[in-house]
């Protein structure tokens, strides 16, 4: 017979600390993003090998029925983030179009299948995200490589890829090729990416002057791209912080070849909505000759002051 006064160990459920029991603040959902995007084949080429994507993603909770005390859990909770991508395909016939489209689609579909989404950007989560993304891009590169091997018409296809992933004020940038990302802050235009071209490599090595890159005959020869690398692609990855009022521009070289940075900054300095600004930038490229496909994706961020404490949760998808 069991003696209730014996020394048997009894497991007691842990008591949640007050901070763990409190409802988290859905601060990321308070970040507002004015998005615009536009693409044009240009005046010379008959087809458009550029593709773009602007997407909103998140995790959410909507309380449907409960007898918990009012305020014990939120009626609705949303963590929200944004993905922006531009890709400029390379290859004969329709191969470039396939490469740029497939790279973006593969990236999104691989993410949707991932068991964990980083929705809480603690220092540990940032480190984990930076560590896992090179593998993700090797997967994308392998998908493009295998697709080209299976179809002779797509042999040699590849694409640039410039994308961002933002949660609250945290911004992650992924870049390969010569499409670009710019940040417009306090009336200054900052180029966030570095072109992966032979001309830029020559300048980096000191063989030509930096000012020669823009007109060098090898400025369009890519040293890095997605596709044809057999999963050995190197992708530039950055992490930084956005501030209230920032404008983030992603574009293909159909814009930067035709329009100098000063004119781009002039457009971004105006207060027009992002979609109107995209139209103005594309018009400038066409007026200058429109020698290539041109694609622009533009986001303006309205970011409130963050809460004093980080939101609770581990960022795992349901």
Domain ranges of the chain: 27-60+73-302
What number is the average pLDDT over the span 154-170? 95
Q: Please state, in angstroms and rounded to a whole number, the distance separating the CA atoms of residues 33 and 234.
A: 30
pLDDT, one tens digit per residue, over 29-69 is 999 999 999 999 999 988 999 999 999 999 899 999 999 99
Q: Give pLDDT, residue 93.
A: 64
Alpha carbon 203 to chain centroid, angstroms: 27
Model confidence at 180: pLDDT above 50? yes
User: Which has the closest alpha carbon to 293: 159, 181, 155?
Assistant: 159
DSSP 153: G
Per-residue pLDDT, 143: 95
Report, as an integer, the average pLDDT of 64-78: 92
C-alpha atoms less than 13 angstroms from C-alpha of 318 in its C-beta half-sphere: 6
Strand 161-167 relative to strand 170-176, pairing: antiparallel
If phi over 0 gives left and psi between -120 and 50 gives alpha, with beta otherwise, what is residue 41? alpha
- The CA distance from 166 to 54, in Å, is 12
* pLDDT above 50 for 123: yes
The structure's pTM equals 0.87
pLDDT tens, position by position, 191-243: 999 999 899 889 888 898 888 888 888 888 899 999 977 778 999 999 999 99
> Which of 1.10.150.20, 3.60.40.10, 3.40.50.300, 3.40.50.12780 is the CATH number of 27-60+73-302?
3.60.40.10
pLDDT single digits (tens) 10-25? 344 444 444 555 666 6
The residue to which tokens 């959410």 are assigned:
60
**% of the chain residues with pLDDT over 70:** 88
> Average pLDDT for residues 106-133, to the nearest whole number?
90
User: Which of 8-12, 73-77, 115-119, 277-281 is predicted with the least confidence, judged by mean pLDDT?
Assistant: 8-12
Name the least confident of 67-76, 183-192, 309-318: 309-318
> In this structure, are strands 247-251 and 180-185 parallel, antiparallel, or unpaired?
antiparallel
> What local confidence, expressed as pLDDT, does residue 134 receive?
95
């Amino acid at each position: 017979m069991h003696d209730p006064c014996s020394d048997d160990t009894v497991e007691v459920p842990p008591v949640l600390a007050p901070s763990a029991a409190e409802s988290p603040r859905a601060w990321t959902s308070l970040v507002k993003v004015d998005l615009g995007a536009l693409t044009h084949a240009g005046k010379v080429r008959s087809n458009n090998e550029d593709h773009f994507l602007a997407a909103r993603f998140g995790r959410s909770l909507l309380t449907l029925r409960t007898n918990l005390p009012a305020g014990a859990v939120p009626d609705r909770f949303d963590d929200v983030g944004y993905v922006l991508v531009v890709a400029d395909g390379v290859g004969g016939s329709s191969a470039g179009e396939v490469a740029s489209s497939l790279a973006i689609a593969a990236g999104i579909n691989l993410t949707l299948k991932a068991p964990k989404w980083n929705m809480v950007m603690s220092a540990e989560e940032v480190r984990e995200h930076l560590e896992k993304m090179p593998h993700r891009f090797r997967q994308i590169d392998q998908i493009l490589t295998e697709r080209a091997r299976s179809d002779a018409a797509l042999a040699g296809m590849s694409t640039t890829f410039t994308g961002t992933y933002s949660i609250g004020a945290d911004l992650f940038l992924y870049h390969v090729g010569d499409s670009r990302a710019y940040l417009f802050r306090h009336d200054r235009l900052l180029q966030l990416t570095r072109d992966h071209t032979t001309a830029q490599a020559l300048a980096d090595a000191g063989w030509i002057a930096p000012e020669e890159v823009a007109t060098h005959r090898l400025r369009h020869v890519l040293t890095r791209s997605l596709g044809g690398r057999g999963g050995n692609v190197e992708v530039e990855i950055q992490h930084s912080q956005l501030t209230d009022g920032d404008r983030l521009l992603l574009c293909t070289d159909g814009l930067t070849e035709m329009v100098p940075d000063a004119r781009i900054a002039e457009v971004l300095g105006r207060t027009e909505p992002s979609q109107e600004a995209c139209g103005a930038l594309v018009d400038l490229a066409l007026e200058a000759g429109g020698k290539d496909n041109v694609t622009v994706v533009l986001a303006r961020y309205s970011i409130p002051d963050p809460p004093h404490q980080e939101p609770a949760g581990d960022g795992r998808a349901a």
